[in-house]
Every structure is written in C-alpha cells, then in structure tokens.
Structure 1
Amino acid sequence: MSELFAAPIPEIGPDLIITVRAGDDPAAPHRGTLTIGDWSVPCAVGRSGIVDPALKREGDGATPAGRFALRYGYYEPGVFADAEMAEMAFPFKPKPDSYDWIENPASPDYNRMRARSHNEPPPDRAPKLFDIFIPLGWNDAVPRAAGGSAIFLHAARPEMTGTAGCVAVPHDQLLNLARRLRPGMIIDIAAPDQTAGSLALPDSLESVSFHSLRPGPRVIVTGAVHGNEVCGPKAIARMIAEFRSGRRKLLCGSVTFVPVVNALAYRLDQREGERNLNRNLRDYPVPQVNEDRVANVLCPLLRAHDVLIDLHSFGSEGPAFALFGPDAPGGALEPHARPDEERRLIRALGLPFAVQGWMPAHLKALAQQGRAQDIAHAVGTTEFMRFVGGAAITVECGSHKDPASVGVAYDVIARGLAALDMIMAEAGPPPPPPQILQIGDAIFAESDDDRLLRSFVTGEPVRAGEVIGQRADGSPITAPHDGAVIFASGKVKAGTEMCFLCLHGTAG
C-alpha cells in the first residue's frame, strides 16, 4: 500500500488487530462481522462492499481493503459521560460542536477535521451514527484528492444498511467496542479471497499477470479505459483474487489483468482525464496529455498479447452487448482481423446481441462530413489490437449505475477464458447465440447544443425518418433507416457521436 494513503504499519501482535470480514453474500456485500480477540459483533461496511484499495475513490460507497491505523476517537458528550470515556485505554476526545470532516477533493483540508465558522450550516449526517467515531488511517498521511475520505468506525443504522464507506457496528455495542480498543491497534479489512494490491495512482498503470506452465493464448483483460466505467475494475479485482487464492486455475497460456487503464480519469470519476483514450489510440513519440502517456504504456502491452477482452459500460439503460470485428481478414480498415477467435468468444458470452461495423460506420460518417482523413479517430483498444494482429472484443456490460454490470463483467471474463480453454468451464448447456447487428450509421453532433429527443434504451428500435433529435438551430435529426439505437448520449460535444444506428442481422 502506498504511503500516500496510509502510514507504514509495523508488525504487531494479534491482540492489537481488529478483524473485519464482509461480502460472503453477493446480494448483501455490506454485511459482515467485526472481531476483537474472542468478541465478535455484526457490522456493516460500504453499500458497494469491500474494494481493492487500488480501486477506492471518493463517493463510490465502498470500503477499502487493507490494514489501517486507529489513532484516536471522538464521542458525543451528551450521550456518553466524560468520566466514563476518560477511563478508556484508547484516547477519546469530546466531539466539538462545530466539527466538520472535509470530503471535498478540491479543498486544501480534504480528509481533515475542521472547525466550522458560525455562518456555515452543520453537516448533513444522521443523528446517533456518530455518537462515537474513530477515524481510520486511510488516505490521511498525505491526502490524495478523490482517493476517498471520512472512513470511520462508528454506529450503524438500526437496519444495518450499507454505509458510505465506513465500518459500522450496532449502536448498543459502541461502549463494548470502545472498552476493547487499545492504543496502537489496527483494523484489518478484507472480503473473502481478496488480496489487496498496490495503489493505482493517477500517473501509473498496474497490471497483474498469471502464467501457466503449459503453452497457450496470451490474453489481456482491461477495465476503466473510461474512468466512470467501474464494472471492469471490480470484476477484474475479483478474478485476480480467485487466481491468487487458488479458486481459479490457469490451464494454459497466460492472462494479464489491467484493472484501471486510465487511473487519472478513474480517480476523477469521469469518462476521460484530458481526452478520450479510446480514440486515436497509438504510440505518441511526443506525448502531450495524460491519455498520450497512457497509450505509450498500453500499446506495447496490447502488442505482447494475442487476445483482448475490453470491459466497458454505457450511460443509457439497456442490456449488455459486445462489439467485434469484421467477418473476413484482409480488409482495408482492419487488415489483420481474426474473425474465428472473435466469433468463438462472442458465442460463449451468453449476451443477447453483438455488434459489428464500428470502423465502416465511422468512415461513412466522416466522409459525409468531409473528414475522411480522420479515420484514426475511430481507433480504440480493439481496433489497435486487430491492427497489430490480435483478436479483440469490447463488452458493454450494462449501465454505468447498474450493480449487476459487475456480475456481467465477471461472467464475461470467466466465459471468455473458458472458451479459450484456459480455465475450466462451468457445467451446463452452451448459451444461445446472440443476435448480430451491423452498425449502419454514426450520428454526429454538429454543435455542443445538439440533443437527442429522449434517453434511448440500448437496442431500442427506431423507424426510417423518425425524428430522434434536434440540432442547435432547431432542425430535426432523423433516423436514416430502420434500426436499433446504441450508445445514445445525453450530452455531447461538436464532432462526437450522439448515437449509432444498427441494422438487424442474423443469429451469431
């Protein structure tokens, strides 16, 4: 763990360790148990469960895994007597009336306690939850903006619902907890089979590789090419933990996991750091922005592998789907396509539909705009992978905000590796083949103020001539043909895609 996020903790005896384990039930990842010696109590962690510290960021509702120091605590004087708290072995202080914990990443006091001025409103926190609270030593040695703040040990709600990232015990157990705390204690937080990794800092890219002793495909699995798409990092972290624990066995070849490709965008919780990494992907001899520097690390990684599985999500509602390359190699746009491998992966994933034609649709739209020379704009991870001779699929695992997208991403990794005979396949019949769609047109924005008429569900059908949007000057945007909408964007910039229209094809 980086010292940017927690001061180094020396080896200590088991009597000074508080153990928190949560996440046995995927339907309730926040429920767990806190143990000190022979005393255990139910606890709640973040509503999003426990997350590898490399993936923790502000506002994600997750509790970071790892070991963190407990240095001091606060209590509510109106609830607990000063004399009683003074007798505790652990250092407790009365909670100031005007205290506030700064959770704004832009503040110089980020992840620090600060006294409010008289004209500032009190923080909006539920009563009784902070009658006793102990800050955990997360991201507090040198606070890193957006790395996560206000991680406490405090009282749980009566229903034991998930927290914003803290560890919480029943209110009636607060004194029992406080009496067991000792100076120098640490709290050890983990999910089942989870192994904490190093921190993905905004200027780094972490990869984890596993190599079988038998030859086979070289596969790379990537997440968070776009920083606001978190299903990939979470699913990859789970898969890494299963390989490390021995629950998964690599039968042949090698697999490299890159949980967070664009760490700057991930920390900022936005699609891009300084530009869209999944456009104009190539080596940059003179890198100018964050994504150029990421590309200079990512492109050699892609070249070193045979197959890419790139995990994404999308902003609209709708089912998961995949994108893959052309049916025949040797084309002008993607001359090194490997259709057999990509079709094999697509059929194994169990998704309702899959899409082809990304590059031709871009070429058609750019030609209509007089920008045919800008076809490199359409080159992202999978297009680059095909260009260097590999097979590649992009999987859109569902809506950004749908918790089920993490499970989809996990299943995609497992089924993809099984389809390549790299891990044991799950028992059961093969999934039905997906419907294959062909992208017919990309609808580009001509102005920042162009808009679609509504939030289209992914795969939603439209008819030729149907008005689907409006230009900034009031003129309508119509569907050029019957088809289905994918990647509908509610807010766009001039020259970027508002949506794509797909033509229905046959079963895959």
Structure 2
Amino acid sequence: MNDISASHLVQPVIKVRAGQDPDQPHRGTLTIGNWTIPCAVGRSGLRDPALKREGDGATPIGTFPLRYGFYDPEALGDEPRSFAFPFLEKPANYNWVEDPESPFYNQFVLDMSPEAQTRTGERLFDLFIPVGWNDSTPRAAGGSAIFMHAARPDFSGTQGCVAIAHDQLLEFASRLQPGMMIDIAPADAPEQVTPPVQTETMECVSFRALQPGPSLIVTGSVHGNETCGPTAIARVIAEFRCGRLRLARGSVTFVPVVNALAYRWNRREGDRNLNRDLGEKPVPVDNEDRIANVLCPLLREHDVLIDLHSFSSPGVPFALIGPADNNGTLEPFAKAAQEEALVKALGLPMVVHGWMDAFKQAATVRAERGFPEISLTHSVGTTEYMRFAGGYGVTVECGTHTDPQGTAVGYRTILNGLAHLGLVVADPILPKDAPQVWEISEALMADAAEDRLSRRFAAGEAVREGEVIGQRASGQPIRAPYDGAIIFASLTAEPGTELCFFCRPSDRLGD
C-alpha cells in the first residue's frame, strides 16, 4: 500500500483571523496553507453567530462552506473558468435579496424587471464567492449576502463580507478547491461555533464552582436593539471557556439575548416592552409573556442580577438602583446596602435611583390630565422583579446604542461585578472619581403630540431652574422646575407619556 501524506487527506481550509487591533476590528489576515494576505471583515468586527442579524455590519464567527463563485469576464477575462473551484460568469442583472420580509430572503435571483440595474463593472464584485451563512434554510433577519470579494483601496470595513485586495483576486481564486470551507475566528479568542439564536428559545450559559458562594445572573438584550450586552456577555463566556477567567466560588448564569425575537429584528420590542409589567402570565398572549414565563423563574433562582442595556440619546453610561431599605407598599426592600456596594464596584460615572416613585407620580399626573390610567405594575422590569423576589440587582445603561465603547463598558461592568461578589479572584477596576448620583423626582408629560423638547438632551445633562427646555403645542415654553438633570429624554412623545424625567442631586452613596 502506498504512503499518502496527511496533506492529501485533509481538505484545505481558508483561515480568516481578525480583531488583532481593537481600534480596527475589521482588519485581519486570510491564510490558505502557507499563503497569507491582509483582509477586511465587517465594520463591526466579528460576531458570535448566535448574535448575528441583518444589517449589523458584523462577520459571523464559525466554519462555513464555499460552494461556487461568480466572476465578471469584462474585468477578469475567462481565466476563472480554468480554476478547480467552480466559477460561473456573473449575470448582468442578478440580485441578492436582503429584505427579511421577502420569501426569497438571502437568495440569488435574476432581476428581469425593466428597471433592473446592470451589475457588471462593479469593481468590488468583479469576483465574489457566497459564504454558506444562513442559506440552507434562511432564517428571516439572520443575516444575508455574506460574500468574499474585493476590498476597497483603504481596506475599510465591509457590511459583513470578507474582502481582499483586488489585485489578489485571481491568485486567491486559483488556490481554491471544490468543497472548501472558510474558518472565521478572532485572532485572540478560542475558536468556537455556536448555533444561531432561535426566536422561541432562550440560551443560558452557566458556570458553577465547587465552592459555595452567591449566584449571579447577567442578562442582555431585554430590548432587542440594545446590542452591547450580548456582545460583552459573549466575550466573557469565551474567556471562561478558554480558562482566562476562572470561577472561584458560587455560580454565574449568562443570558446573552433575552428577547430573541426583538433582537433578530433589531427593534426595541417583539410585541411589547418586556421591561414593563414583568411577571409570569398563566395565559401568555404575546412574545414577551412567553419570555417572562421563562425569565421570571430563572431570576428567582439567583441572588444578584446585572442587566445590561443602552439608550438612544447621548450621554455617559450610568446605573439604576432601587430604593433605600423600607417597609412600604410600593417597593419594599431590605438589601439596599448590598445593592449600593455592588453599584459602587461596577465603576460607572453616574448612578440614578427613584424610578418606581417617579413612575407612580407620573401615573397620578397622567390620570389627573384625563389620560387612561396605567397600573403601577407597568413600572416593574427585571431589577424590580428581582427585588420583589428577594434578591437585588442593577440596571446598567452602557451608553448609546451605536457607541462602540458600549461593549467595553458592558464587559468591564461584568468583570467588576464578578470580582466584587468574589466569584473571580480579582480587584474591580474603578475610576478615580466617585459616581455622580441623581434621584428621579418627577416626569415631564406630553399633553399633545406637538409638545417637544428643544434638543436631544444627554442622559444626566444638567439644567438650571427656569431654563427653557422645550415648547408646548400652544407655544408656551417648558421650563426646568429646579436645578437638576434630565434623564430618559425624547424629543417628542405620545400624549400622556413622558418627554423626560427630572432628577435632583442625591447623597445616597455618600460614605
């Protein structure tokens, strides 16, 4: 029997590694055997496939098939026909369907309409290869049109594709073999492939130490358009799995995407706001009811919650905590000291409290002005439920939705929380200055749809008593009631809902 070298038995793989430079997460390298060249990936870098969705500008991590490719003979001649990998001549009027509502989502179609644009002469797509992502049975909004193609001259980030220099297209194509795979992974993280997130499931990843200790749960994407949480959580999970983080005692459960339906469609809600009226529903009627029936028992199993969010207006990251210890009927609580110690350890620049009291005041004003009454249960979200269940928790607003630093804030918050609770052996990384603390005191209600704020106020932006901050539909100016700050601001609001909340300075965390 003749000897056959291992190289003849192993199908060659294209290796793409990116993220070496945190400031340029889209820059990477592509390797086939001993041939390595620069490449560009999605402008948002690489992303766990469970978190990939339409329009996020990220390239999915994993190993995917390459089945065929296309080339433009006007640009490259007919040389690709002679290559081992199957290349087809690119039609002049093709389209790749990126509309999640279409029955042809993430499929190649020929556009025979009179207004079809000619697709020849597109330099970036003189040669391209579809990557086998979300294409066998496409999941709506799961991400489409992931290709290998030519990079821009500046190697800027793509929409999620893998791109190489145009003058290396033919050399690259000549090295491909039928049935080849592409392996995409971070340069500094363990390689892993996780299944895509399903809208009717909730992925939970738990680590349990052999020594007793507190149980922490960390949640992300309670609102689907808030993506810093899932990305930060995925990074911490990977570090536990590869041994960079080690659980010393207790347990931690990570739920990267709580509201999978809303996350998949990149919107705040699936059917309604999950962070309002949170509680188990004996007869669930919508997506959020079904989530609550899984999430609430999960919260009750834990001692502490860190819930990661982001916001639409500008502003610094901040945390929301519950009330001081009390025996009242609105939000009775007996673990304020533990919660305050936790929020100090998280290292955020601003802390806010007083949410349920402010909501109760807003509900009273709403009723006085003739708007439909809203139950106080509408103010109950994840952390409020956690307190009612006997635990404690902190809501962390990591920054604006689109701020790339939001993920870093979420990641640092998780590590600080783990260290503070003694779940990992480390010291929290804290800023030099103590956080600014505000108490939410009252809501500014919109009486008409034309009521509006004068500008998009940043979270925690200071205002002076009497300062004009907006205008009523009647033309009457809206003035700040006292020296303080604004939080949860919207330029406009539906009648009977809040334009913003006013906050007073607080000495709640004073030593």
**What TM-score do you get using the length of structure 2 for normalisation?**
0.93
Matched, 1:264 2:261: yes
Letter in 2 for 1:52: D
Give the CA deviation at 1:14: 4.1
Contact 1:337 1:387 in 2 (8 A): no
Contact 1:283 1:296 in 2 (8 A): yes
Could you say what secondary structure the match of 2:333 adopts?
Answer: coil
For 1:214, the equivalent position in structure 2 comes to: 211
For 1:75, the equivalent position in structure 2 comes to: 71
Matched-pair identity in % = 57
For 1:365, the equivalent position in structure 2 comes to: 362
For 1:111, the equivalent position in structure 2 comes to: 106
Give the CA deviation at 1:351: 1.6
The Cα offsets for residues 171-201 of structure 1, whole Å up to 9 and x where unpaired, read as: 1111111111111111111113253323221
The Cα offsets for residues 416-456 of structure 1, whole Å up to 9 and x where unpaired, read as: 11111111325877643212110011223344444222101
Could you say what secondary structure the match of 1:20 adopts?
Answer: strand
Q: Distance in 2 between matches of 1:499 and 1:76?
A: 55
**What does 1:37-186 align with in structure 2 at a 5 Å threshold?**
37-82=33-78, 84-122=79-117, 127-186=122-181
Give the CA deviation at 1:15: 3.0
- Relative to structure 2, which stretch is displaced further, 211-220 or 125-134? 125-134
Q: Distance in 2 between matches of 1:13 and 1:455?
A: 61
**What does 1:48-447 align with in structure 2 at a 5 Å threshold?**
48-82=44-78, 84-122=79-117, 127-191=122-186, 192-194=188-190, 195-370=192-367, 374-426=375-427, 431-447=432-448
Letter in 2 for 1:149: S
Could you say what secondary structure the match of 2:485 adopts?
Answer: strand
Contact 2:83 2:174 in 1 (8 A): yes
Letter in 1 for 2:243: G
Could you say what secondary structure the match of 1:220 adopts?
Answer: strand
The 1:126–1:505 alpha-carbon spacing in structure 2 relative to 1, beyond 3 Å, is farther
The Cα offsets for residues 102-125 of structure 1, whole Å up to 9 and x where unpaired, read as: 111122221111222343353899
* Equivalent in 9, 19, 23 of residue 19 of structure 2: 23
Could you say what secondary structure the match of 2:284 adopts?
Answer: coil
- Relative to structure 2, which stretch is displaced further, 449-458 or 427-436? 427-436
The 1:409–1:35 alpha-carbon spacing in structure 2 relative to 1, beyond 3 Å, is same
- Relative to structure 2, which stretch is displaced further, 377-386 or 440-449? 440-449
Q: Distance in 1 between matches of 2:304 and 2:413?
A: 14
Cα-Cα RMSD: 2.0
Contact 1:224 1:260 in 2 (8 A): yes
Contact 1:336 1:390 in 2 (8 A): no
- Relative to structure 2, which stretch is displaced further, 105-114 or 272-281? 105-114
**What TM-score do you get using the length of structure 1 for normalisation?**
0.93
Q: Which runs of 5+ in 2 are unaligned?
A: 1-7
The 1:439–1:124 alpha-carbon spacing in structure 2 relative to 1, beyond 3 Å, is farther
Q: Distance in 2 between matches of 1:198 and 1:324?
A: 34
Could you say what secondary structure the match of 1:323 adopts?
Answer: strand
Letter in 1 for 2:167: D
* Matched residue count: 496
For 1:6, the equivalent position in structure 2 comes to: none
Letter in 2 for 1:259: P
Letter in 2 for 1:211: R
